[in-house]
Structure 1
Amino acid sequence: MMIVLLIITVLILIAIPNVTKHSKSIDDKGCDAYVKMVEGQIQAFKMNEKKNPTLSELTDGDYLPESPSCPDGSTIAIGTDGKVTVAKTGG
């Protein structure tokens, strides 16, 4: 029984650092996907309204949810040229 517990403990000690190491990669990919979705919503707004939107116009027009942000908490911004930028949070 002690050998089984030792093996399980070793496997857990190996697995946990790998999971935490990949969480940053997961957050980055989630944020990249969210930015692509926002860019798609900007294109939809442009087709309907014939102008570049602001972030408030997208949220007011139900193109985006209120207070849009990446899964890791980073906020997004839309430039006057319609480009999406991500403001990384501290940490």
Structure 2
Amino acid sequence: MRINCPYCGARGLEEFTYRGDATVKRPESIEESARDAWVDYVYLRDNPAGLHKELWHHGAGCHSWLEVTRNTVTHEITAVELAAKGR
């Protein structure tokens, strides 16, 4: 699998580290009433089949954080953008 870094161009997977689901949103409240939301945020993840947004770090290159849209069944990458721009 190759990821097309916006700065470095197409690079091999070994230059990147998968850092998780890019669709998970951190709860805004730190109050006790938000405990269930925090448990969901920290421990529960979906395992989708098909297109999914993921965070990747280009650790062996420009050190950018990327939001990669990847088909989890075929591993085809349909989009790559800087994570800061996608949020």
- Scaled by the length of structure 1, the TM-score of the pair is 0.24
Higher RCO (CA < 8 A, seq sep 6+)? 2
Query: Which protein is richer in strand relative to its size?
Result: 2
